Amino acid sequence: MSRRNVYPIGPEDVNPEEEKLLSTYLDFLNEVAQDDVEGLEKAEESYGDSWKKRGGVGAFMMLARKWDRIEKQVEKRLIPAPTGALDSGVDAYDIFAHMRADERPEGLRDDVRDLRRYLLLCEAEVKSAVKGSYLDQLKEIAEEDVATIRVIEEPSFKKRGGVGAFFKAASHWDVIEFQMEQEPKWDILNHLRATPPFGFQVRWLRRYLLLIEAEMRSRA
């Protein structure tokens, strides 16, 4: 089933009791962002800058593999619903329910985290051309993400539940993928340098993935 044939549920379909429980995601934004920065710094000690060894094309292919894994996982409908769900079934593309249900050590939650961190690395690499190394940019970018979300982003990202949250992220991935099909094909670092507006898509995909993870932590 293609997600392009699926539409997010409307506001009237959101369980009001569930809305009451999901009001503290903002409390976890800093924690998730800090974990990302620290996780990337630690990974650097083990793997160095291997993520960009094959340039912007190799970096994009890592992103694409992570997105494909995420989309493949959430396109299924879960029956029965995961333990603790407030409804009797879980829609395809309900990323919150799928993350809750996937208890594998390297499951959906890890894929969401890894994609978010790769996106952070890509922007940090481009900014490093102006000052310092890409590692020096991580904290500043992560802090900017949190600050921007606090100023701009209302709880609308989860207004239509996990389905709506997934489609928010997917809308930015679709633009990124379309841009990557233009010359120079698949070179995300080159496109970020050459087309500043493209950075908007990268940043907001990363920010929606940050919001999704913060939401999940608020439900724990």
Q: What are the φ and ψ backbone dihedral angles of 78, each rounded to 5 degrees?
A: -95, 120
What is the full per-residue pLDDT of the chain (220 aa) written as tens digits? 456 554 443 344 445 555 444 458 999 999 999 999 999 999 999 998 999 999 999 999 999 999 999 999 999 887 665 555 444 456 799 999 999 988 888 899 999 999 999 999 999 999 998 888 999 999 999 999 999 999 886 678 888 899 999 999 999 999 999 999 999 999 999 999 999 899 999 999 999 999 999 999 998 8
Q: Which amino acid, residue 174?
A: D
DSSP state for residue 105 in the 8-state scheme: T
d(CA 127, CA 125): 5
At 206 the pLDDT is: 98
Q: What are the pLDDT digits (tens) for 60-72?
A: 999 999 999 999 9
d(CA 120, CA 199): 11
Q: Report yes or no on 50 lying in a domain.
A: yes
Q: Report yes or no on 186 lying in a domain.
A: yes
Domains: count for the chain:
1
- Domain enclosing residue 174, as ranges: 16-219
Q: Report yes or no on 69 lying in a domain.
A: yes
Q: Report yes or no on 10 lying in a domain.
A: no
d(CA 158, CA 97): 12
Q: Report yes or no on 7 lying in a domain.
A: no
Q: What are the φ and ψ backbone dihedral angles of 159, each rounded to 5 degrees?
A: -60, -35
At 14 the pLDDT is: 47
DSSP class per residue in 5-28: G--PPPGGGS-HHHHHH---GGGG
Q: What are the pLDDT digits (tens) for 88-110?
A: 456 799 999 999 988 888 899 99
d(CA 182, CA 186): 8
